[in-house]
Structure 1
Amino acid sequence: MNEEEVLAEFRAAGALLEGHFILSSGLHSSRYLQCARVLMDPMRASRLATALAASIPRDLRSQIELVVSPAMGGVIIGHEMGRALGVEAIFVERPTGRFELRRGFEVRPGQKVLLVEDVVTTGLSSREAIEAVEAAGGEVVAAAALVDRSAGAADLGRPFFTLATVTVPTYPADALPPELADIPAVKPGSRKAA
């Protein structure tokens, strides 16, 4: 699956939105990728996860023993990546603002983990989730996401695989261009606006 085919899946699902959005990072953007919409179709989610799994080199893919994703956005794609790789998939949550394992989920000491996200913008959520996995004893050997919004700038400190790169300018709230400042902002993601 090439980048244009991936973006076509987003368009077909009505998941490539235009307007004024506040991203999880707190930055503002004129475009938003609503991954929940693209992943609500189980067959589409499976196709995307299979393509994403195939983008990981075989020798690295064969090391992965567990998929971990951050809740909420990464839960569906994490589950589908587990299916595509033939390993279990769990998720970390932020009940008190920091990612942690809950629900009886465990990571064995030294267990080789793939961290999976839906979209990476700054990489902050991914890095925080990686810290939680490593604090639990796991070894995150790679990270993956459907879409990289960072234009390759997100540094996750390990190999990072994506299906598409979307370059859309982002702005801090105090530096909005006039065309965005004139549109009411919406916060479509899972985190409350700051």
Structure 2
Amino acid sequence: MSAADLKAILLSKSVRTGTFTLASGKTSDLYIDCRVTTLDPVGANLVGELGWAAVREKIQTEGRSIQAIGGMTMGADPISLAVGMTSARNHPTEALQVFTVRKEPKGHGQGKQIEGNFQAGDTVIVVDDVITTGGSTLKAIDAIEREGGKVAFALVLVDREEGGRQAIEARGIPVVSLFSRSTLL
């Protein structure tokens, strides 16, 4: 299984052309719904393998210790879980715990905004499926930092190349993307 296999699934299932209004409110000729790919068993396995390879290379190159991976629900959830599961299967001593960031703190129970395997002091990878302006990734970063986490870098399935990478990197957080608009199309 390879990047070409994942690209084929993304192009077949997730990429649409036409006229679309994005979450940012901008109009675009391209819509990418990565959930259709990341919730596909073959797509999820590919995301896990390719995502873990990219993450592990970045971690080893920088000599970082990373405890967990997660991002804004729902787009980041299957990516984070796939990468975490692959890390546990291939390198159990380096296995990444997985968490999810709610859009708003929960209105009951412990009132958490971050659920799962995250604790203050963790150094984490923030995940997003698609970045356009970087807004949802930055919102997840804000929540993680507010809860005492440190974001080492961002892992993104597709960078639409519309300023999101620059907005995230302006916060001092490098972005690793598996695909960009230009490499996908």
Q: Offset of 1:52 from its aligned partner?
A: 1.9
Q: 1:152 to 1:5 in 2, by over 3 A?
A: farther
Q: What's the counterpart of residue 65 of structure 2?
A: 63
Deviations, residues 71-124 of structure 1 (Å, cap 9, x unaligned): 12111111112212322211111137xxx8447546323211010111111111
**Offset at 1:127?**
0.9
Larger relative helix fraction: 2
Higher relative contact order (CA 8 A, sep 6+): 1
Runs ≥4 residues deviating over 4 A: none
Instruction: Give the Cα–Cα distance (whole angstroms) in 1 for the partners of residues 115 and 127 of structure 2.
Output: 20
1:78 maps to which residue? Answer: 80
- Could you report, residue by residue, the CA deviation over 1:159-191 in whole angstroms, capped at 9, with x for unpaired residues? 210111105xxxxxxxxxxxxxxxxxxxxxxxx
Report if aligned partners of 1:66, 1:111 keep a CA contact under 8 Å in 2: yes
Question: Structure 1 length as normaliser, TM-score?
Answer: 0.74
Q: What is the DSSP-based 3-state SS (H/G/I as helix, E as strand, rest coil) of the residue aligned with 1:163?
A: strand
Corresponding residue of 1:134: 145
Residue 120 of structure 2 aligns to a residue whose secondary structure is coil
User: How many residue pairs were aligned?
Assistant: 162
Partner of 2:124, secondary structure, is strand
Number of the residue aligned with 1:7: 7
Asked if 2 retains the 8 angstrom alpha-carbon contact of 1:142 and 1:160, the reply is: yes
Matches within 5 A, 1:1-194: 1-2=2-3, 5-12=5-12, 14-56=13-55, 57-59=58-60, 60=62, 63-85=65-87, 86-95=95-104, 101-102=112-113, 105=116, 107-150=118-161, 154=165, 155-156=167-168, 157-167=172-182
TM-score normalised over the length of structure 2: 0.77
Cα displacement (A) at 1:133: 0.3
Closer/same/farther in 2, CA of residues 104 and 36 from structure 1, 3 Å limit:
closer
Q: Which structure 2 segments of 5+ residues have no match?
A: 88-94, 106-110
**Unaligned residue ranges in structure 1 (runs of 5+):** 168-194
SS of the aligned residue for 2:139 comes to helix
